[in-house]
Chain A
Amino acid sequence: MINLRKIRPFQRGQIIATIIQLSYYPALWTGFIYQGAAKRFCVPILTCWGCPLSRFGCPMGGLQHFIGLRQIPYYILGYFGLVGILVGRMSCAWTCPFGFMQDMLKKISRIKLNLPRWPTYIKYAVLIGVAGIVVYFTAEPWFCKICPAGILEAGIPITLADKTGNIKALVGWLFKTKLVILVFVLAGSIFIKRFFCRVFCPIGAIYSVFNRFSLVKMTVDYDKCYEKRCYNCRKVCPMDIDIHDNPSAKDCIRCLECKNKCSKHAIHVSLKP
């Protein structure tokens, strides 16, 4: 039996956001994906718009589409900037189903591997290289082709639901490669907190740049936390960062767990510019 009280506030947000994002239930009996005006609007996180249940657009899919067409993606860039400058990486904590799944996977194992700092820069290379330069020259959405969220939300369900055999016949090297990436990410998430978000997510890479300037800001009252540190903030952080050292850390997803668990009430969230 799931104890609802044990579900953290940001995880409740993730569950509600997932239900809203994946709410096109007619796909379950028609087999067709949603085609309508809501697809014009992107959710602020990684989600596969090829998922039969998906009602909204994926900003990373949209970005690659416009880069592939060699057009400036004004709408998508404006959207990323708007979300980023208002809340920074907060949407990663409160609305991302893939992040929620990683949080759940981490509960499987008590073994915790610490990630060095350098792999957290890989996501910038993924953003600029795979979702940018390669897309520009090939006109193909290459991040979508390797996106683990895409195969989990769309590729696997559609293949399993296929009764005609037409889609199953299309399973080839790309599907298998994507499956290997998904297994790698899922296995990594069991031992490393938010493995994909910290290392590979290109949307997280975009929002992380805004963390320092965003309207929503984390602050630490060092006067209250000057004696013996309890390290509660570090222990509960889903991104494994030490907010005490840097309240504007690039990887802080503003889940507010540190604020809620701080024994000295030294961590605050502020909207003051």
Chain B
Amino acid sequence: MKRLLIIIIVLVICVAGIFYGAKQGDLVETESVGSVMCLSCMGLQQ
């Protein structure tokens, strides 16, 4: 019962976090940063 309660609480918080983040523009930000070839992230910089 205690475990079920933890699962439900965490699920609700996480789903709320995802939707709130999406509303704040996190998805668009994630798309834009993922669409750029970050050379330094690949180790490509002098």
In chain A, residues 166-188, which have Cβ atoms closer than 8 Å to a Cβ of chain B?
A: 167, 170-179
A231 to chain B, nearest CB (A): 29
Contacts of B19 in A (CB 8 A): 78
Report the count of interface residues on B (CB-CB < 8 A): 36
**Judging by beta carbons under 8 Å apart, are A50 and B33 in contact?**
no
Cα A68 to Cα B3 in complex, Å, equals: 34
Contacts of B15 in A (CB 8 A): 78, 82
**Judging by beta carbons under 8 Å apart, are A78 and B17 in contact?**
yes
Tell me if A222 is interfacial: C-beta within 8 Å of chain B: no
In chain B, residues 13-38, which have Cβ atoms closer than 8 Å to a Cβ of chain A?
A: 13-22, 24, 26-31, 33-35, 37-38
Contacts of B27 in A (CB 8 A): 40-41, 75
**Judging by beta carbons under 8 Å apart, are B30 and A170 in contact?**
no
Cα A76 to Cα B14 in complex, Å, equals: 9
- Take A78-B18, A82-B14 as given contacts and tell me if A42 and B30 are in contact as well, using a CB distance cutoff of 8 Å: yes
Instruction: Indicate which residue in A58, A62, A74, A155 contacts B43 across the interface (CB closer than 8 Å).
Output: A155
Number of A-B residue pairs with CB-CB distance less than 8 Å in the complex they form = 142
**Judging by beta carbons under 8 Å apart, are B28 and A170 in contact?**
no
**Judging by beta carbons under 8 Å apart, are A79 and B14 in contact?**
yes
**Judging by beta carbons under 8 Å apart, are B46 and A170 in contact?**
yes
In chain A, residues 10-61, which have Cβ atoms closer than 8 Å to a Cβ of chain B?
A: 33-37, 39-42, 48-50, 57-58, 61
Cα A273 to Cα B2 in complex, Å, equals: 9
Contacts of B10 in A (CB 8 A): 81, 85, 213
Contacts of A145 in B (CB 8 A): 40-41, 43
Cα A259 to Cα B14 in complex, Å, equals: 30
In the complex, the chain A residue whose C-beta lies closest to that of B13 is A81
In the complex, the chain B residue whose C-beta lies closest to that of A42 is B30
Tell me if A144 is interfacial: C-beta within 8 Å of chain B: yes
The 7 closest A-B pairs by CB, nearest first: A78-B17, A75-B21, A74-B21, A75-B26, A273-B4, A81-B14, A35-B35
Can you list 12 A-B pairs, Cβ within 8 angstroms, ordered by A?
A41-B27, A75-B27, A78-B13, A82-B14, A82-B15, A82-B18, A145-B40, A158-B44, A170-B44, A170-B45, A173-B46, A175-B45
